[in-house]
């Protein structure tokens, strides 16, 4: 069996995969399309993150392909109908990085409330500006969760401990589901969530229905002090509208771990506003999460190659 890995994987995953076949690992292979198409011609498995475009072109070149392993949970770079047509299994790292993403949301809220990094920089300049760096508590604030899947539920559970009031909007979740009945999340309309929340965290996949889900109209409904947090997918928040809203102080700011075009270009207008905090798609990228992700995907790919039933298939 031949296994081609086109992006970063942790050593424990590599070690597991070597039990199932010959592994070709090049974390930059995704960026060289011609070489990639040549490498996958006789591949039984391909393992990717979010940069490798698994589309008709690649699937057509990989005539022996049995399984695609996704080191993460987003699937917008994989043509799922095309894989199903070719009977190629797709496995993903179900819930492996959920805790890390949930903690990222809290990192953003704490940073917005009490920016220790800026205070530290100021002290290193010889200043002692206690008034300037007087922050605010997150206790008693309202956190709005758009999308109530696994990650959002982990956020909600932790929010209880910090004394946050949690509002939730998800048209696919009923009022009797676990998140509303057991995690203290209040079911509200999108409009109510936008107008009442101090922090709004996005937890939805990128689809035709969620593209530009939050635009100028939605930001007009938000508090002028509210923050948007997006650790899901770029394209869910309209970036031009966001830049205008933050620049005009219609909202307090934003924390974006994902943007429409990754990696970011030096000319991206979002870089012009310091109230838009940008991180390089690292919400789920902790050491612990990547050990779990690499292990789970390697095991699930191995099951498919051995003709066994995988647990984390699309």
| Structure tokens belonging to residue 181 | 């009945």
Residue 10 belongs to a domain: yes
Candidate list 70, 233, 239, 299, residue with the active-site label: 233
Is residue 40 domain-shared with residue 104, that is, in the same domain? Answer: no
Please confirm, yes or no, whether 203 is among the known catalytic residues: no
Is residue 241 domain-shared with residue 294, that is, in the same domain? Answer: no
**Domain span at residue 175?**
98-278
Residue 108 belongs to a domain: yes
Rg of the chain taking only CA atoms, in angstroms: 21
How many structural domains are present in the chain?
A: 2
Is residue 115 domain-shared with residue 62, that is, in the same domain? Answer: no
Q: Mind listing the pLDDT tens digit for each residue in 15-67?
A: 999 999 999 999 999 999 999 999 999 999 999 999 999 999 999 999 999 99
Please confirm, yes or no, whether 281 is among the known catalytic residues: yes
Please confirm, yes or no, whether 49 is among the known catalytic residues: no
Cα distances (angstroms) measured from residue 119 to each of 126, 252, 254, 314: 11, 19, 19, 45
Is residue 200 domain-shared with residue 273, that is, in the same domain? Answer: yes
Residue 311 belongs to a domain: no
Q: What CATH number does residue 293 fall under?
A: 3.40.50.720
Is residue 41 domain-shared with residue 144, that is, in the same domain? Answer: no
Candidate list 281, 292, 299, 300, residue with the active-site label: 281
Is residue 62 domain-shared with residue 173, that is, in the same domain? Answer: no
pLDDT band, very low/low/confident/very high, at 192 (cuts 50, 70, 90): very high
Q: What is the pLDDT of residue 122?
A: 98
Is residue 261 domain-shared with residue 112, that is, in the same domain? Answer: yes
Is residue 75 domain-shared with residue 205, that is, in the same domain? Answer: no
Is residue 128 domain-shared with residue 213, that is, in the same domain? Answer: yes
Is residue 184 domain-shared with residue 230, that is, in the same domain? Answer: yes
Cα–Cα distance measured from residue 220 to residue 243, given in angstroms and rounded to the nearest whole number = 13
Candidate list 191, 262, 288, 306, residue with the active-site label: 262
Cα–Cα distance measured from residue 84 to residue 151, given in angstroms and rounded to the nearest whole number = 27
Is residue 166 domain-shared with residue 271, that is, in the same domain? Answer: yes
Q: Mind listing the pLDDT tens digit for each residue in 58-102?
A: 999 999 999 999 999 999 999 999 999 999 999 999 999 999 999
User: What's the whole-model pTM score?
Assistant: 0.93
Q: Mind listing the pLDDT tens digit for each residue in 138-191?
A: 999 999 999 999 999 999 999 999 999 999 999 999 999 999 999 999 999 999
Q: What is the pLDDT of residue 161?
A: 97
């Amino acid at each position: 069996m031949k296994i081609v890995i086109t992006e970063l994987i942790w050593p424990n995953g590599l070690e597991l995969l070597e039990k199932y076949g010959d592994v070709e690992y090049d974390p930059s292979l995704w960026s060289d399309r011609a070489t990639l198409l040549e490498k996958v011609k006789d591949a039984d498995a391909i393992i990717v993150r979010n940069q490798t475009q698994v589309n008709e072109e690649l699937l057509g070149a990989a005539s022996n392909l049995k399984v695609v392993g996704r080191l993460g949970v987003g699937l917008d770079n994989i043509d799922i109908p095309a894989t199903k047509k070719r009977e190629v299994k797709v496995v993903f790292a179900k819930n492996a990085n959920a805790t890390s993403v949930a903690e990222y949301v809290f990192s953003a809220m704490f940073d917005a409330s009490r920016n220790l990094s800026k205070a530290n920089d100021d002290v290193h300049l010889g200043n002692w500006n206690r008034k300037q760096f007087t922050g605010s508590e997150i206790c008693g604030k309202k956190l709005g969760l758009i999308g109530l899947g696994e990650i959002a539920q982990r956020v909600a559970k932790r929010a209880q401990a910090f004394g946050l009031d949690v509002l939730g909007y998800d048209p696919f979740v009923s009022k009797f589901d676990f998140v509303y009945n057991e995690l203290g999340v209040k079911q509200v309309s999108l409009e109510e969530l936008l107008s009442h929340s101090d922090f709004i965290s996005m937890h939805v996949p990128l689809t035709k229905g969620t593209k530009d889900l939050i635009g100028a109209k939605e930001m007009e409904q938000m508090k002028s002090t509210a923050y948007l947090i997006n650790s899901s997918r770029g394209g869910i928040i309209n970036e031009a509208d966001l830049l205008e809203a933050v620049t005009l102080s219609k909202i307090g700011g934003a924390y974006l771990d994902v943007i429409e075009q990754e990696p970011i270009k030096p000319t991206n207008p979002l870089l012009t506003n310091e109230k838009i905090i940008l991180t390089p798609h690292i919400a789920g990228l902790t050491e612990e999460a990547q050990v779990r992700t690499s292990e789970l995907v390697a095991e699930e790919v191995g099951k498919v190659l051995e003709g066994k039933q995988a647990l984390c298939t699309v």
